[in-house]
Structure 1
Amino acid sequence: MNWDHGILFIECLLFFWIICCDYYFSLVCGDVGGNFKQLFTRVASVQKKAGPFESLFCVGEFFGDDNSEWEPYASGEKKVPISTYVLGPTKASHLRYYEDKDGCDLCENVTYLGRKGLYAAGSGLQIAYLSGRECEDTADDAQFSPNDLEALKVICKMSDSKYKGVDILLTSQWPQGVDKYGTSVEEVRTLEVGSSVIAQMALDLRPRYHFSGLEGVFYERQPYRNHQILGEKPRHVTRFVALANVGNPQKRKFLYAFNIVPMKHLDEKELCKQPPDVTECPFKYNASLCEAGQDETSAQFFYDSKALQKKQNKRRPGDQGGGQAKKHAQPPGPCWFCLGSPEVEKHLVVSVGIQCYVALAKGGLIPEHVLIAPIGHHQSTVTAPDDVIEEIEQYKLSLKKCFKSRNQDVVFFERNYKTAHLQVQAVPIPTTQKDEVKETFVGLALCQNIELAEIPKHSVLKQIVPAGAPYFYAETPNGERLLYRITKGFPLQFGREAMADQTLLNMPDKVDWRNCKSSKPEETDMANNFRKMFEKFDFNLQ
């Protein structure tokens, strides 16, 4: 082969490889309705003939009235052929199949995403999702309201100051009036069955693809604009696709294959190309709907402690301005960890600082298992401001000193995956076992096909992990720092499982926090005991 031709051939291969690496190949299906065998058989066939595809997303109802086909997959007798992500139910009667409303693994390779959120898939793909049907008053977790719209807007836009949109939006219900300016859907009266909340969501989030189910038909709308011609600079278009039910007798399309380059890898010109069949946007801004959501989500921050108020009016070295404390970031809706939220179980709180607080972990592995959390609403250490991070580090140092006085060392870990509020877990172990921590975490990770990497001791996490990206992070007593960038499903109890291992706490029955519940009086006693133990190490009291 001519040398120049050889170089050209290699360059072409490299170019092709780079392009393919940016693409995300995926499948989407409509309502499964309990027809698991037919779905996964079809997916396996498509995967073999046209794959590989990285994932399968299911919109609409995953479970049905007859779920007898689910048992072989739940038991592990049969294996799901692809990483599968499903939305939650739209019927209250199906809630029993979802163990954790905020997201959980239903079986190997099948993950329930949760009620709402932003999922970061491989290659940086951003996927927003909302489960359930619209209802003015959300009576159960199979419904959503304008409150959820505002929460999802905050989740998506907080992670990127130069927000352009999301790559994919998954909803079970259709957006109201989606067929306006496009091909009409004879069998679906979109103004009646569609959701005004989802229409507003599509307008605000600007997805490049929007997938829905529930109505039993396949409908692929012409792409629509996300900008006003001459009035706004060009933006990318949105493609709406609705899928039929799996196993429908009319043989309507229920499985859709597509590939997409995440918008973060596209330049502005490529991203904003307008196809020839593009239409006007079918949705109009609904001011009353947005105001209703904002009214519901505006939270009042309070904490009934005079000591806290006194501390917040103090100035610490390096504070700017007068003694007035900076207002804490507010949550978009109910939050179990924002200290000013009525949902917080304040009897568990053992120390309160200016930016953060320490509380006993609900269902802790041991009575001294605590968590450090910001008072205001911040999702992770990557997105939290510097003053919050500084106080977290102060609390870590104080906890280390406290446990050291008891011949213990402490392990810290954080999971930024299917969580809305930053929590740094702190679990003490006997000093004699501190050398086992890294090996235990890494060993458990290997068993679960997780590549837990050690990062430099003095590196800054937010310089390694992009804002909004899910991750698991742990610090060992020996100073090792372990990180896993989550790309697909991740075991929610991984940190607890490692700590409960026989090499550390040897408490395999306590991996699930729900097996460790105590009564409120018992929790109050444990909090009082910890508060007394920690008092002389608490920097807020010195």
Structure 2
Amino acid sequence: MAAKIIVLGSLNGNFESAFKKLAPLHAKQHFSFAIVTGNLFSAEQDADSLSRLLNGQVNVPLSTYFTVGTNPLPEQVIERIEKGEDVCENLHFLGKRSVTKTSDGIRIVALGGVLDKTIVGGQSKEQHLPLHTADDARILRGANSADILLTAIWPSGVWTGSNIPLTPEKQAAIVSSEEVAELCSALKPRYHFSTSPSDFFYEREPFFHPPSSESDDRPITRFISLAPFGNPAKEKALYAFNLQTREVTSSIPAGSTVSPFLAWTNPKKRSAPHDSGGQYGRFANGHDHHGNGHHARRRKGERGPLPGPDQCFFCLSNANLDTHMICSIGEESYVTTAKGPLPASDTFASSGLSFPCHQLIIPLPHEPTFRQMAGDANRIHQEMNKFKEALQAMVATQSRHKLGAVTWEISRQTGVHLHWQFLPVSIDLLRKGLVEAGFKVEAENRNFPPFQETELGSGVDETSDYFRVWLWSDDGDTGIRSKELVMRLDEGFRFDLQFGRRVMAKLLGLEDRLYWQDVVQSVADETKDVEKFKEVFKPWDFAA
């Protein structure tokens, strides 16, 4: 079933008249939801109208989404958002950098604010200021796909190859960036909405993206920039359309052009994200998967957006991500230190490591298994394996071959976001077979399926759930020894998600640190350990 959507240009504080006009339209057309582009509020918002909005005296007739425009959000609005509440009934803040899936299954990727070129590296920390960084835009590319892309500024050169006139004066007034162009090129959204800086409406001809190596499909994007609502020139400020979820492009519309962004990187298309319940492990920050988001207050009986990458604590598009724990970001995956690490900061001090070195290697796509990454699985696995090998080499060198490493993965169709956990361990335990025995004995004691020694590669062809562990050591003399053990799990098998940590806690004599919640460090200590890790990892960090 198609979703009927209406999009509004910048309201600039005139939300009362806008929602008043929207009410009869919605009563007649029954829209699924509305989106406000640009600025919902003005830079000097009228206090009385804002008070009426926050007090529920302004009727917002249907679910309406907005992000940060080019004006800061009012303090009263920020306070409400930070409490995890909607601004008022039916008015939902998407976040400045977010991925949201509506109850209709429509996937919205939002990037608010203008590009702050003074920040050379890193993400913007303040989620309510009208600024974003190059890394904010780059991280959102990990969303992989979008039905609707919503940005406060235009993608650079979007008018290239277009026959729709855009005067030099209008071009000069437009705020645009290559980063947004790269984001549009990567996500290939079906619609890309922005806002015009003055009283004009612009709708470019549809443009098609080159096919990927996995598909002959040519995704079509329609770029539309709406004029401000209530503009004196009477330029178009409302845009209504129907959008069918999971619709495959069967033909290229007449008048379409090639993508104006062919000069920029065009990542291969990835499969749409899958979201389901599960445990996040040790990279959470106190929020749960099903609540405490910004959709807490809404009309009775109405379903809000389903939780997606914006609420997953392994997804870089999550605005609440503990970014101070990120150690290295590659093209397909990234490395972070674990929250509530199993080893303490001094566990391996005698072996040359002054930090826990409990690391997570996390793929960018929001998928529970490599199989669901489809055509991208092998490439993603290759980079994750490269990170694993770099960590192994670092541990061996830094410890002067006193330490080897154990890495494990839980692959479950009902999981949330695949990841690997990496831990150093004494080379003596590895070489004497005690680590392998530890995993096998614990599995036998729990009546788990037996381990098999095999090599799954990316695991893209695996149809069953599984737990696998890699054992690696290099003594600097006889060379490297490695082994991959796999435990295949039947559908519905109740597997202990703490199994890997439980085994390693016994082997390392750290059973008092089994539960990550009991050993969470302060932000200052986490930051200190991350900086120590990054300094030691520097010679092996191919993504730096």
- State the TM-score, normalizing by the size of structure 2: 0.48
- State the TM-score, normalizing by the size of structure 1: 0.49
